[in-house]
Structure 1
Amino acid sequence: MSERTTTRHTSTTPGTGYGRVSTETMKSIVDTRRTRRNFWQQLALIGPAFVAGAWQFGPGNLTTAVQAGSGYQYALIWVIVVSTILMIFLTDMSVRLGIKSPVSLIASIKDHLGKWVGVLAGIGIFLITLCFSVGNAVGSGLGLSMLFGGNPVMWTIVCTVAVAALLLLRNVYRVVEKVLVAIVGLMAIAFIVSAFLANPSWAAAASGLVPTVPDGSWLLIVALVGTNFSINAAFYTSYGTKERGRTEADYRDVTIVDTIPGIVAPGIMTALVIVVAAAVLGKTGEAAPTIVALAGIFEPLAGPIGSTVFALGFFGAAFSSMIANATAGGTMLSDGLGRGASSSSLTAKIVSATILAFGIVITLIFQASPIELIVVAQALTIFIAPVLAALIIIMANRSSLMGDMKNRWWQNLLGIVGLAAVLALSIRLFATLFLAG
């Protein structure tokens, strides 16, 4: 049967249901079958989800993971598993929105839900990036000081200048994407090696997959979810998808080589950091509430090479997150204000510079207790996360926008579970911070 005949007999109005296949979808299927990608062509699709993963896996994620392993050993690994699964489904919705939206996600929100909703979304994400900028600034400085010695603040300034120079490039997103994919790969190697050097009890680690809530762990659970179930990073994936010009014909391959591995990778690395901290505690009896303390205890246990590898992974997490955080925050606030949805726009660059400057200023002011500041800042982001999650789910259900790529019932079910989780944790965090006393 010819393509013309197939199209004529299957044509229907987009978004009218699942019983029939639309002309557009059928054409995508035909195109995909005609252009089967080889291995290297599939690898070329890697990008947007790995950028989201790099943003998600920052120093706040590492700090809370270290505290989880040091304070509760393997008991909270299940939090990472559950939040990673939920993160995959929210990111997938964002990818489909990036494919189907004729404009950016925030611009589409303005068109469908009202201009003020889009503006608030842009401002909300910008506020999240301000919180994250503190951890990124502190973490990048600590990471390089662990590797080379010297004052962490000096290294923080060096890293900030390097990121600022990167963001001045003309085609910012493409350069950022390539840099971050490479760093994520190096981090994965570093933390896998670190975990095996720590020689943990893998049976005990497996027991952490069973959900338990140890006494006094609620604030830490909130912080773990706030960093690993990163709604803002999922939201930004639609922008990378749009910048890369993804189509419906790309969707299946993108899911396999980018969306799933890009989100699973930081989840595995976070779990491995918990394993390292728990193994160190089990072998030495010493708790390590901070990254620096863990590296100090890890050196006599795994040798100087092991300590260096771990420090390299930590620096990679902080520096990659600093790049992605500034890029995403600048892009989405610029879009929210109607000043352009590209990271290369002047407004986006100015906002990105503001985010970087904020991170340095707060780092200088609060040098005495940076780790506590990271944990609280990461936990506070969960107040904005429910709004962003709701917007992703609502937009992914708009038939007039999504057509045949709108959410199925099972995607909505998992999306609602994720939304309910962040809502519940927001309420719990509010009670812990403001009502406990």
Structure 2
Amino acid sequence: MVETERERPRIRQLTLLGPAFVAAIAYVDPGNVAANLTAGAKYGYLLVWVLIVANVMAVMIQYQSAKLGVVTGRTLPQTLGTALPGRRSRLAFWGQAEVVAAATDVAEVVGGAIALKLLFGLPLWIGGLIVGLVSMVLLLLANPLRQRQFETVIMGLLAVIVLGFVGGLVVNPPDVGGLLNGMVPRLDGSETVLLAAAMLGATVMPHAIYLHSALVIDRHGRSREPARIGQLLRATKLDVVLALMVAGTVNIALLLLAATSLSGRAGTDTIEGAHAAVGEALGPAIAALFAIGLLASGIASTSVGSYAGGAIMAGLLRKQIPMVLRRSATLVPAIVVLAVGVDPTWALIVSQAVLSFGIPFALVPLRRFTSDRSRMGQFADGAILRIGSGVAVVLIVVLNAVLLVLICTGRA
């Protein structure tokens, strides 16, 4: 009986898990695939350290976002909408957030379209439409009344992503020495700066920062009782760590797969070429798993991205439009990119670099809000979290500044 009583709080805590796994889908979207495969195929294990640093930052940032929602009962966009002075500033902030969301959607739809082309030979623009339509169906579950069903579907797709992208390493494990060497921070030329920014943008996702505060409210509701808030924060911390461990494993696995099996092979600078090289090196079964994982990634991440876009608009502009209508509108830029013949892998990498520029706009106010004792009370960030998030902001801003200089001088 004693053991049963001790186990009950743990079981209750496990039932509170889920929101972070939805947010974690943003960290394993097709943009990650393009950036990580390109980095591994071209530079081997060199940029492993970028993914490790980015994942540590992601754990910290997603916890702060979720904590803001749990403690205040308000989403990050809602808090920003109240804090920003005047309608013009809210519109401007919403505008940059929507640009980031559009870049996200391009990556996700393009990735799913590539997967359908690899699996069934469909034209890219038709594949993009199919991904968009499937995501609309999933979005019907994205409301507080069906939150657990939505989480279950997304977590199922996450399991498919893990199997699809990690399977190749079982057949051809990475070199341990190379992996350890890749954990030493260093860069090698302007292209590695672009790739590092893309990997950072693909790992620490601005729309996931905005979204997580909404996910915990939709799942857990709002509470003012300190005991209940403390319970939710403990569950949230476990939720974030587990979900981001899964996402981080997938990201590192992609880079290791490319470094181990694709290095030196022709055509691996595109996802299609990487898929072909995977088939040649590891067999058609692993190549098929890779394509299925990419498809699951595109469908899941574009659904989550649309969910995030709705939360951003509702919080900053205090307006809501039906998810399906929003999905229809945001699908247009991705279909245009696919229809005009832009290199899809390059579009994915550039979209992730754009995302990295949007991170400070989400992270700086989040850090300020969660450190504010008048807002957070006893649950305000402690010194370790304040210092860690400050370091994260500095790293991101410096990397983006270097990337901007390289772009302006034509060296990236």
Q: TM-score, normalising length from structure 2?
A: 0.89
Q: Are residues 113 and 397 of structure 1, via their aligned partners in 2, closer, same or farther at CA, if it must alter by over 3 Å?
A: farther
The C-alpha deviation readout for 1:107-150, integer Å capped at 9, x for no partner, is 22333454555554433322211011111111101112222333
Q: 1:58 aligns with which of 29, 37, 44?
A: 29
* 2:43 alignment partner in structure 1: 72
Deviates more, 1:64-73 or 1:370-379: 370-379
* 1:110 alignment partner in structure 2: 81
Asked if residue 131 in structure 1 is aligned to residue 103 in structure 2, the reply is yes
Alpha carbon RMSD of aligned pairs, Å? 2.2
The C-alpha deviation readout for 1:52-84, integer Å capped at 9, x for no partner, is 110222111110101100110011000000011
Asked if residue 155 in structure 1 is aligned to residue 127 in structure 2, the reply is yes
Q: Are residues 285 and 373 of structure 1, via their aligned partners in 2, closer, same or farther at CA, if it must alter by over 3 Å?
A: closer
Asked if residue 363 in structure 1 is aligned to residue 334 in structure 2, the reply is no
User: Quick one: which amino acid aligns to residue 174 of structure 2?
Assistant: P
User: Quick one: which amino acid aligns to residue 352 of structure 1?
Assistant: R
Number of equivalences: 396
Q: TM-score, normalising length from structure 1?
A: 0.85
Asked if residue 240 in structure 1 is aligned to residue 215 in structure 2, the reply is yes
Stretches of structure 2 lacking an aligned partner (at least 5 in a row): 222-228
Post-superposition offset of 1:387: 1.5
* 1:226 alignment partner in structure 2: 201
Post-superposition offset of 1:360: 1.8
The C-alpha deviation readout for 1:339-391, integer Å capped at 9, x for no partner, is 25xxxxx35543333112332233222x2412212211210222221121101
Post-superposition offset of 1:173: 4.6
CA contact (8 A) 1:326 1:353 kept: no
User: Quick one: which amino acid aligns to residue 154 of structure 1?
Assistant: I
Stretches of structure 1 lacking an aligned partner (at least 5 in a row): 1-32, 341-345
* 1:8 alignment partner in structure 2: none
Deviates more, 1:58-67 or 1:44-53: 44-53
CA contact (8 A) 1:143 1:311 kept: yes
User: Quick one: which amino acid aligns to residue 128 of structure 2?
Assistant: T
User: Quick one: which amino acid aligns to residue 100 of structure 2?
Assistant: I
Between the aligned partners of 2:14 and 2:284, the Cα distance in structure 1 is: 35
CA contact (8 A) 2:63 2:237 kept: yes
Asked if residue 140 in structure 1 is aligned to residue 112 in structure 2, the reply is yes
* 2:54 alignment partner in structure 1: 83
* 2:152 alignment partner in structure 1: 178
For 1:366-377, what aligned pairs fall within 5 Å after superposition?
A: 367-377=341-351
User: Quick one: which amino acid aligns to residue 145 of structure 1?
Assistant: K
Between the aligned partners of 1:174 and 1:354, the Cα distance in structure 2 is: 26
Query: SS of the residue aligned with 2:319?
Result: coil
Post-superposition offset of 1:242: 0.9
CA contact (8 A) 2:68 2:74 kept: no
Query: SS of the residue aligned with 1:427?
Result: helix
* 1:5 alignment partner in structure 2: none
For 1:398-417, what aligned pairs fall within 5 Å after superposition?
A: 398-417=372-391
Between the aligned partners of 2:172 and 2:267, the Cα distance in structure 1 is: 14
CA contact (8 A) 1:137 1:363 kept: no
CA contact (8 A) 2:124 2:338 kept: no
User: Quick one: which amino acid aligns to residue 355 of structure 2?
Assistant: T
Between the aligned partners of 1:115 and 1:100, the Cα distance in structure 2 is: 25
Asked if residue 387 in structure 1 is aligned to residue 368 in structure 2, the reply is no
Between the aligned partners of 2:33 and 2:207, the Cα distance in structure 1 is: 18
Q: Are residues 170 and 244 of structure 1, via their aligned partners in 2, closer, same or farther at CA, if it must alter by over 3 Å?
A: closer
